[in-house]
Amino acid sequence: MDHAPTGLSAKHPIPWIPPVQSGSVLSVRGAVVDVRFAEQALPPIHTALMVEWDRPDPLVLEVHSHVDAQTVRAIAMQSTAGLARSVAVRATGSQISVPVGDAVLGRLVDVLGTVRDLGPALAADTPRRGIHNPPPALDSQTSTTEIFETGIKVIDLLAPLARGGKAAMFGGAGVGKTVLVMELIHAMVEKYQGISVFAGVGERSREGHELLTDMQDSGVLARTVLVYGQMNEPPGARWRAPLTALTMAEYFRDQMHQNVLLLMDNVFRFVQAGSEVSSLLGRLPSRVGYQPTLASEVAALQERIASVAGTAVTAIQAVYVPADDFTDPAVTAISTHMDSIIMLSRTQAAEGFYPAVDPLTSSSALLDPLVVGEAHYGIAERVRETLARFKELQDIIALLGVEELGASDRLIVKRARRLQRFLSQPFAVTEAFTGTPGRSVARADTLAGCQAILEGEADDWQESSLYMVGTLEEARQKEQAAAGSASAPRGVAA
């Protein structure tokens, strides 16, 4: 159990702080509250303040800055509706601390660690830890080249994930980010032996309820912590929810030495909440209206996601891309910290290719012959070359038709269209809507299927036989069934 008064481990103590008396509310601007401590020591940055008002729900503030010798500016973690001037505020002298350890497994909590799943309250002796912790020292961090198989063909082939690495899925509204995250959770139940921590940042209430229900039904919830800072909550709660989730993941990593799968949906909402807070603080906006501290805020979050000797933290994050603009400053700031980048394409989604991963813009630091092997690397490069050439030829095809292409280009188009369809895949989480059972495909089967298509084995097959299947063997059976029904004699109509 962690006994440090600030919620930090004994490894990172902070100087003793003299006790601070009560202050009073000076002004309220939405989620930003100024508090006056007359003739007293000011509470340190990042420590918590408790508003002693007459409402049943507590109101917690976090010190953001010192305005002058008697005033601090704080960010509210809950709604400040009804908060008036001169209300008493008590300084706790310590950070916001949240419960950690086995007690939070299977529970849904908010940014302050309060249980929100209508279940029993946590035990009073549950260990707690402050949400502001430094990243592990550089010499204690480890990097890995172990592949983290997902069972999703297009990801395992073209943008493989690293165990203990960071991966992000970028996409605009409605192209399948949340579905992909939920499928990854579902696909890793059997393969991944460890703890999962899910951070829902700026999530809709419907999405949170669906995820909770799905996890209960699939039996994953017992080894998962759900942390939510929902869309209807103040920006302070959405801004700090990822830190709460990270703190719980760090405890499992450092104190319990367990591998952690950290999932975040949606990191852009974290940036957006920081932008709202920045505006309320009166800062001048930077590019495209974002906060001037965008890069440092994203770095402070991402640098804490690290693996240490013997224990891996694997992070998979969904990132909303505003107006499908992949040059947006928030998108570029997040992408610089990633090992694997999975780009979701609206064009792919419009054509019915799900998951709508763009095979030409998705990338991974692990797609290297020294890591994945010469065979995997060679097949991935040939797939990319074929699809890139098909993309170049699409304008000509639209104007003149496929018949005007040369024989070699016609062959490339034929194989590229079959590869596109083979890289689509039915998901277990969408089975209720599509009626098609989900498929999880081993990396070896994905490579064998792509190689066979590139070598012309499926040239004479119908394209529909390769659409929404798992392995190539399944596509072959589909093709044989279609050929059999086509050659069967038709019945005579009465």
Q: State yes or no: is 203 an active-site residue.
A: yes
DSSP string, 383-419: HHHHHHHHHHHHHHHHHH-GGGS-HHHHHHHHHHHHH
Quote the CA–CA distance of 472 and 162 in Å, as a whole number.
25
Helix ranges (H only) for 321-466 are: 329-335, 346-350, 369-372, 374-400, 407-422, 431-434, 443-454
163 is catalytic: no
DSSP 151-210: S-HHHHHHS-EETT-EEEEEE-TTSSHHHHHHHHHHHHHHH--SEEEEEEES--HHHHHH
> Which amino acid is residue 296, in one-letter code?
S
Task: Let me know how long the chain is.
Answer: 494
Instruction: Check: CB of residue 239 under 8 Å from CB of residue 298.
Output: no
CB 242 within 8 A of CB 200: no
**Candidates 29, 85, 204, 283; catalytic one:** 204
Amino acid at 333: A
Give me the catalytic one of 203, 233, 250, 297.
203
334 exposure class (CB count in 10 Å sphere: 0-12, 13-18, 19+): buried
Q: How far apart are CA 294 and CA 369, in angstroms?
A: 35
Going by C-alpha positions, the residue among 379, 331, 352 that lies closest to residue 160 is 379
Catalytic residue among 129, 166, 177, 439: 177
431 included as an active-site residue: no
Instruction: Write out the E strands in 67-120.
Output: 71-76, 88-95, 97-99, 108-109
Known catalytic residues are 177, 203-204
